[in-house]
Structure 1
Amino acid sequence: MPLRNLALLGSCLLIVACSKVNQENYAKLESGMTKPEVEKLLGAPDDCAGAMGMSSCTWGDSKHFISVQYAGDKVIMFSGEGLK
């Protein structure tokens, strides 16, 4: 049983280490990028909301995240927190 727990822990660490929510990808974001370009870089967002042509999508959790705001499907603003 301890070997199984160790394997599970190792898998979890690999998933976290491979997260696309990091400083390197944040630095690649630019105003004017399209939603498909952002999703190619960061993957599918964890949460999106919007109305009247404006939307905001977030990748990550409450401590480590990237948030992107769109007008239509173009990036107008973005922010991040806890990135490594």
Structure 2
Amino acid sequence: MSLRTPALLLCCLALVACSKVNQENYSKLKPGMTKTEVEGLLGGPTECAGALGMSSCTWGDEQRFISVQYAGDKVLMFSGKGLK
């Protein structure tokens, strides 16, 4: 077995462990932040939806997520679940 396979697996595990969906990043969110600032902190969202100038974006999955609601380009409110 080559050393490339274990090294690749180790890199994948490191990326999962370094998820940006965590309590530390959640505590950095503030009302009034721009979408660009939030994406700089959390990366690209898993999904977004919206209408009439309001939108909601989510990062993570059903067990662990951060959800941000925007009015225009600014954070209105946010919530999280399963953060450590």
Instruction: Judge same fold: TM > 0.5, yes or no.
Output: yes
> Once the 2 structures are TM-superposed, how far is the Cα of residue 82 of structure 1 from its aligned partner?
0.7
1:63 pairs with 2:54: no
Give the corresponding residue for 2:24: 24
Structure 1: stretches of 5+ with no match in the other structure = none
User: How do residues 1-84 of structure 1 correspond to structure 2 at under 5 angstroms?
Assistant: 1=1, 6-84=6-84
Structure with more helix by fraction: 1
TM-score by length of 1: 0.88
> Once the 2 structures are TM-superposed, how far is the Cα of residue 63 of structure 1 from its aligned partner?
0.6
AA aligned opposite 2:62: S
| Distance in 2, Cα, partners of 1:45 & 1:77 | 16
Structure 2: stretches of 5+ with no match in the other structure = none
User: Deviation string for 1:15-43 (max 9, x for gaps)?
Assistant: 11111100000000000101001011111
Instruction: Report how many residues are paired.
Output: 84
